[in-house]
A and B are shown apart, each in its own frame.
Chain A
């Protein structure tokens, strides 16, 4: 083991995607023989990656620089990079934000995998179970790669792994409506990835590098050069690249002009996949790279170009917030309502990013954590409801809470958190967002946050009210008990929601704040 290697990183970083990808291939081979061994292998692989990501998280936190680096095929280029700062090969670079996302992805992925084992028998035909697990792990592998990499093209490859497997997963039930929704998702997704590859190409032409950290240094050099310098015209390439990348990622994150696909694609997927799509995929392929590129590569800061982008992003975020909420109120199906609610919540996350302040980013990160857990839980709950009773309409849920008390209690906790009832995690992240808007000198924007929370309350409390006090419209036939493997992940997530709200010091002050600080420091 080389001296420099032990200082900068460890093989664990690269092991996480490798372990998931390898397992996804082996699953295909085993799946035909024995479904029991296949399920075991999936569990072991996902649990292993979750353990490894905990180690990464601790390593990142204990490192003095706030990030760890690993040079793929360590050798001459790693040594050269450390000496001259000019990278050639691929580098994995995980900072605190990446580590948080990694922990969320593998953690929620593990719970969803546990949940899947009884649930897939309900939604998917037997022949497709193996495909389901393969794609499931490929999607997780892609997302873990996205949040760990420090190389722009390596990012693109992982981005496509995650996107392609999510297209296939949405249509895995093979129902007619899911095919149509997937086609829409796929065309929009393909368009966004064209924008992204175009943006990456222009960025490479302007900076001559694909390493994010080095590219950010070059961008700063170009942006600060005088008009008579030969690198001055390159700034137009950088503007074009910025516009293309923002467009591409905001489609993937379901921000306002490109949001329409989400409401079709997320509800038709099996519930365990909806939970991952809403909780993780839009963040790992949309929000996370947006933050990474805006602040880590293009070095947008307060004032200067930041003051041009801020009104644009704020408008987009507020329109997304309200648009999602208004459409959610009109929905009759539970899962479709949850999908529109996801659009509204992405608006909140974008709101924090749009402020372009450290506190705004920290609030966004907190809301990412919060939304991943809560929306994951709500979709899993809707899956349990479908599994036990087959209900998909909100109006049919009358008195359901008396038939399945624990499940609906979890739903109520999640709904309260989404609306922002004080001790829960949703209140904390909205509070911090409002604080950030206040600190950024835009206190009137808090009105929008409050109004939007009111709209959230309208559609979430309607479901809760119907399930407790509504008249039963249909005769609910229910299977006796939900399997523990479905109930326990939901309960774990519900407990997490409460814990994050109460122990806010760890997720916000000790995790999100330093993560936001590091994002602004990447070019140093």
Chain B
């Protein structure tokens, strides 16, 4: 039990992303208000992005350099690690990917919000159950 808790605590960022995912997914599926659905979608997206960024992080890792130059000036943390012979670098690619994915999610949010506005203009409500009834 204690061991399990320790593992959970050592990966607290993953646990948080799972909780966020569940909250978002619940809102996306269960809530009948369109705006709440959009918010749920955004929470799910954020949780996935957080997970991927967290998976790339290394505690006290250095910024990535493609070529390690012998005369490179290191900051204090990097110097300590370098002295211990373990200069760990953070993987930059997931961050770059998530940057692109964030742009995509912003566009999806923009489209869905504008659709919600149009739906409100047409049906006078944002409740999916009422919209279904109006549609007949």
Using CB atoms and an 8 Å cutoff, list the residues of chain A in contact with chain B: 153, 156-157, 160, 164, 167-168, 171, 174, 176-177, 179-180, 182-183, 186-187, 190-191, 193-194, 197-198, 200-201, 204-205, 210
Which residues on A sit within 8 Å (CB–CB) of B118?
171, 174, 179
5 contacts between A and B (CB under 8 A): A164-B107, A183-B115, A187-B37, A193-B108, A197-B101
Pick the 10 closest A-B CB pairs, nearest first: A201-B52, A176-B122, A160-B104, A198-B48, A190-B108, A179-B119, A197-B101, A179-B118, A183-B115, A190-B41
A197 interface neighbour in B37, B48, B112, B135, Cβ under 8 Å = B48
Which residues on A sit within 8 Å (CB–CB) of B100?
153, 156-157
Interchain nearest-CB distance for A291 vs B (Å): 23
Interchain nearest-CB distance for A394 vs B (Å): 19
Interchain nearest-CB distance for B66 vs A (Å): 9
**CA of A48 to CA of B104, assembled, Å:** 28
CB–CB B93/A210 < 8 A: yes
Contacts A171-B115, A186-B115 hold; do A177 and B52 have CB atoms under 8 A apart? no
Known: A157-B100, A194-B48, A204-B97. 12 other contacts (CB 8 A): A156-B97, A160-B107, A164-B111, A176-B135, A179-B115, A180-B123, A183-B112, A183-B119, A186-B115, A193-B108, A201-B52, A201-B97
Contacts A176-B123, A179-B122 hold; do A186 and B28 have CB atoms under 8 A apart? no
CB–CB A201/B41 < 8 A: no
Q: Which residue of A lies closest to B105 (CB)?
A: A190
**CA of A201 to CA of B91, assembled, Å:** 12
Interchain nearest-CB distance for B70 vs A (Å): 21
CB–CB A201/B51 < 8 A: yes
A201 interface neighbour in B55, B108, B119, Cβ under 8 Å = B55
Using CB atoms and an 8 Å cutoff, list the residues of chain B in contact with chain A: 28, 34, 37, 41, 44-45, 48, 51-52, 55-56, 93-94, 97, 100-101, 104-105, 107-108, 111-112, 115-116, 118-119, 122-123, 131, 135
CB–CB A186/B93 < 8 A: no
**CA of A100 to CA of B97, assembled, Å:** 29
Which residues on A sit within 8 Å (CB–CB) of B45?
190, 194
CB–CB B94/A180 < 8 A: no
Interchain nearest-CB distance for B18 vs A (Å): 12
Interchain nearest-CB distance for A93 vs B (Å): 19
Q: Which residue of A lies closest to B45 (CB)?
A: A194
Q: Which residue of B lies closest to A209 (CB)?
A: B93
CB–CB B41/A180 < 8 A: no
Which residues on B sit within 8 Å (CB–CB) of A187?
28, 37, 41, 112
Interchain nearest-CB distance for A190 vs B (Å): 5
Interchain nearest-CB distance for B27 vs A (Å): 11
Which residues on A sit within 8 Å (CB–CB) of B55?
201, 205
**CA of A179 to CA of B126, assembled, Å:** 12
**CA of A200 to CA of B116, assembled, Å:** 30
CB–CB A183/B34 < 8 A: yes
Interchain nearest-CB distance for A240 vs B (Å): 11
Q: Which residue of A lies closest to B56 (CB)?
A: A205
Interchain nearest-CB distance for B3 vs A (Å): 18
Contacts A187-B37, A210-B93 hold; do A177 and B108 have CB atoms under 8 A apart? no
Q: Which residue of B lies closest to A210 (CB)?
A: B93
Interchain nearest-CB distance for B133 vs A (Å): 12
A168 interface neighbour in B44, B48, B52, B111, Cβ under 8 Å = B111
CB–CB A183/B116 < 8 A: yes
**CA of A157 to CA of B102, assembled, Å:** 11
Interchain nearest-CB distance for A267 vs B (Å): 14
CB–CB B111/A204 < 8 A: no
**CA of A226 to CA of B80, assembled, Å:** 36
Which residues on A sit within 8 Å (CB–CB) of B108?
164, 167, 186, 190, 193
**CA of A205 to CA of B34, assembled, Å:** 35
**CA of A198 to CA of B105, assembled, Å:** 13
CB–CB A180/B119 < 8 A: yes
Q: Which residue of A lies closest to B94 (CB)?
A: A201
**CA of A179 to CA of B115, assembled, Å:** 6
Which residues on B sit within 8 Å (CB–CB) of A200?
97
CB–CB B122/A198 < 8 A: no
Which residues on B sit within 8 Å (CB–CB) of A164?
104, 107-108, 111
Interchain nearest-CB distance for B9 vs A (Å): 20
Which residues on B sit within 8 Å (CB–CB) of A179?
115, 118-119, 122
Contacts A176-B123, A186-B111 hold; do A191 and B97 have CB atoms under 8 A apart? no
Interchain nearest-CB distance for B77 vs A (Å): 24
**CA of A184 to CA of B74, assembled, Å:** 52
